[in-house]
A and B are shown apart, each in its own frame.
Chain A
């Protein structure tokens, strides 16, 4: 099983090597083999007596991160969808993408996506699941931005990335929470300990984070906005990622965790409310679109909302219908995307306002489209699978099993009506899609290309999918018992009879279906009349405006803030640094009572010392006041010589010597350089800057004084001076203790101090001798 999941990744590594044969054979042929192999491998598991299979591979055992694959009915459904539709899409893309495209990149991203999607649905370890989850976001980002020369592609890719990664990180939060609570990283292990999570005080947070991850990935309201923009991807990608697989990852997650969560009332309320809103909003908005893929994108949103709401209902029938509809939706939506791709490919346009009357030009495509779109609409014909799942959906919405109180009662009452409302619009856009493209007046002259039937290879994949629609429609039991029932069992956790047998007779769901057809037909025919309603309803409610505004504001304000303090002025940075030091130090001293004065251990005052100190103060202040360069340099020298006099007074002969020499050399250096420097000028700062400078510098000086006094007043242990003085002669063989420390006890300091001098000398040499070309002197 590990090999099956890793196969796409392995092939992705070899794709660049295949580019040698690029001119002879389309890369897609090699790629198609992989999902076919995976499909064949996993289809063996189908059967009435299927039991969950677990495989474990060691990855990071010390962190409880192992690659654990858990194949139950639900995973099997998804694995077969991913590999099956993956094979069809890979085959379709051979004819869709020309050899002049960057096929290597395309198929590498495609295989990465397929492998990570397989990983998502098979992983039992939550951290492995999360890794694959983000991998799908990443590869989806790459695929949406495949034509990266187009601005819209980059916009769509960034948007989907931001939204799905936002959700992915929330999901990570939920997963970490749950694995910490239950002390296991296994999903099944968590479900076994569900009471621990359900009764925890953070449960609402966990639920929200988890659902945020699922809703963003599955394009639920209000996070659906990335999906229509992801239609900038090549059509095979839209067919694969944005109808059949990736957008169902969120559905998968909710289904996977629903054995644990569905007993909670909030799960029902949140999931079914958001699902039904998504259903209604998506189908309502789909009618407004003029781009074929735009219609399909909103249709996907609405169908995902329908599946999500059924998972929220949590009754046996609803779960069965949800799982059944996952399969049905993948078949008809995949084929519809491919149909849209064919229309685009053969006419050069996807704009439904320009298209029309293509039935005579593209007869096979039109046949596929009519079957798939009628299945999507849920038209009551006994050979379309969409009808069954819609029927089950109505049935489930009528039989909600909730304790009727408060909001839940309202929800229970409203649900059938909302379901019918959403389905009416589903009917409308499905009809609009088919009749707008293939019927009506043909204006061939305005199309970029003269339409003719697509090559056979391009038609193979949608034909297989539509055959799937019909086969499931005609013989639902063929896949029901050995396949769908196991998936539903994995979600609901109980054995139950197959509700799909109950489709006969005049029942309330059938009446609802007929209502949908009648009202839908009326709305289709009067579309021109009520079309203006779109000017009012999405108007301000547009989530895109909110998203664009947010992204724009974040960019603008963060730019403003950064430009606010990073203005390029070094003086300001120094002020900020010093002010930060001042505030933290004073605050720390005030809070801990750090300032102490102890006068017991002071050296005697000496008059020479004080007079030297006074002289140094005068000189130091003089450097500020003077506007003459020579004066400033000389009185800096006065400070240095004063310091060396203090060293003499305080019994530090070596220091005094060094200070004297260094000060002399420094002054000489200053005098050498100052001639070349521009003259000192009068101060040109504003008064407020000057006051600020004074406050900061005085504050800093006061701080240093306070630290010195406090440090002197609180000596906690003796100096190690005694050791040096005692051992200087016996260990170091010298009487000058300072020198012995410098070259013997702490010789390493001296070594690197010499290195510092050497580097400074070399740098100075380099700066003076090595010059760029642009300087003349």
Chain B
């Protein structure tokens, strides 16, 4: 199962980066979203996946010996919140930038002193 998740994370990175390399801002933000999904999945996979009988959710219960690793989950939780903050900031930034400049094409957004 880990290998499948690793491949899935890889595909999320691939599509995310492909979107990142486009010229439109919306696509770039979608790309960052995909990349952060990939990264979260990547961290979870690194912490040993436990399906079926191998581990219970990390909530202490009587009679359960094996739990999934709680630390990656805590890390991902933090990361989700941070990437949400960043994504919303990016969205508003894109909105404002395209309003002011009249374009959301990254190739046209260049400094004035560009030669």
Q: Hey, which bits of chain A sit against chain B, CB under 8 A? A: 563, 568-571, 574-575, 578, 601-606, 609-610, 613, 616-617, 620-621, 623-624, 629, 632-633, 636, 639-640, 643, 646-647, 649-655, 658-659, 662, 665-666, 669-670, 673-674, 676-678, 680-681, 683-685, 693-694, 696-698, 700-705, 708-709, 711-712, 719-721, 724-725, 728-729, 735-738, 741-742, 746, 749-750, 753, 756-757, 759-761, 763-764, 767-768, 775, 777
Residues B60 and A738 in contact, CB atoms below 8 Å apart: no
The closest CB in chain B to the CB of A701 belongs to B14
Q: How far is the CA of A693 from the CA of B6 in the complex (A)?
A: 21
User: From residue B43, how far is it (CB to closest CB) to chain A in Å?
Assistant: 10
Chain A hits for B114, CB < 8 A? 568
8 cross-chain pairs, A with B, having the tightest CB-CB distances, nearest first = A701-B14, A705-B10, A708-B6, A760-B85, A701-B10, A697-B18, A737-B70, A697-B17
Q: If A568-B110, A571-B23, A712-B45 touch, does A746 touch B10 (CB 8 Å cutoff)?
A: no
Q: How far is the CA of A193 from the CA of B47 in the complex (A)?
A: 64
Extra pairs beyond A620-B34, A659-B80, A738-B58 (16, CB < 8 Å): A568-B114, A613-B4, A623-B30, A650-B44, A653-B57, A665-B84, A666-B87, A674-B26, A704-B13, A709-B3, A712-B45, A735-B61, A738-B70, A749-B74, A760-B86, A760-B89
Residues A700 and B14 in contact, CB atoms below 8 Å apart: yes
Partner of B37, one of A613, A643, A654, A768: A643
Residues A719 and B69 in contact, CB atoms below 8 Å apart: yes
For B79-97 the 0/1 string (1 means CB < 8 A from A) is 0111011111101111110
Chain A hits for B98, CB < 8 A? 676-678
Q: If A574-B20, A602-B3, A613-B8 touch, does A749 touch B78 (CB 8 Å cutoff)?
A: yes
The closest CB in chain A to the CB of B115 belongs to A563
Q: If A624-B19, A701-B10 touch, does A742 touch B87 (CB 8 Å cutoff)?
A: no
Residues A697 and B85 in contact, CB atoms below 8 Å apart: no
Partner of B84, one of A601, A605, A617, A666: A666
Chain B hits for A763, CB < 8 A? 89, 92
A-B contact pairs, 30 of them (CB 8 A): A570-B106, A571-B21, A603-B52, A604-B54, A620-B15, A623-B19, A632-B30, A640-B33, A650-B44, A650-B50, A651-B58, A665-B84, A678-B104, A683-B22, A693-B22, A701-B11, A701-B14, A709-B6, A721-B67, A724-B58, A725-B67, A728-B70, A736-B58, A736-B59, A737-B58, A737-B59, A749-B74, A753-B81, A756-B86, A760-B86
Chain A hits for B22, CB < 8 A? 571, 683, 693
Partner of A655, one of B49, B77, B89, B96: B77
Q: How far is the CA of A669 from the CA of B88 in the complex (A)?
A: 7
Please, how many residues of chain B have a CB less than 8 angstroms from a CB on the other chain? 91
Chain B hits for A680, CB < 8 A? 24, 26-27
Q: How far is the CA of A750 from the CA of B74 in the complex (A)?
A: 10
Q: If A652-B73, A681-B24, A709-B3 touch, does A616 touch B67 (CB 8 Å cutoff)?
A: no
Residues B48 and A662 in contact, CB atoms below 8 Å apart: no
Q: How far is the CA of A653 from the CA of B68 in the complex (A)?
A: 11
Chain B hits for A659, CB < 8 A? 40, 80
User: From residue B15, how far is it (CB to closest CB) to chain A in Å?
Assistant: 4
Q: How far is the CA of A720 from the CA of B111 in the complex (A)?
A: 49
Partner of A676, one of B60, B77, B95: B95
Partner of B74, one of A685, A746, A760: A746
Chain A hits for B18, CB < 8 A? 624, 693-694, 697
Partner of A651, one of B24, B37, B56, B94: B56
The closest CB in chain B to the CB of A599 belongs to B3
User: From residue B102, how far is it (CB to closest CB) to chain A in Å?
Assistant: 9
Partner of B2, one of A602, A724, A775: A602
Residues A705 and B6 in contact, CB atoms below 8 Å apart: yes
Q: How far is the CA of A574 from the CA of B52 in the complex (A)?
A: 41
The closest CB in chain A to the CB of B96 belongs to A767
Residues A658 and B81 in contact, CB atoms below 8 Å apart: yes
Residues A756 and B26 in contact, CB atoms below 8 Å apart: no
Q: If A617-B8, A658-B81, A680-B27 touch, does A652 touch B44 (CB 8 Å cutoff)?
A: yes
Partner of B11, one of A610, A620, A777: A620
Chain B hits for A693, CB < 8 A? 18, 21-22
Residues B103 and A678 in contact, CB atoms below 8 Å apart: yes
Which residue among A639, A708, A735 has the maximum number of chain B CB atoms within 10 Å of its CB? A708
Residues A724 and B71 in contact, CB atoms below 8 Å apart: yes
Q: If A636-B30, A719-B71 touch, does A704 touch B78 (CB 8 Å cutoff)?
A: no
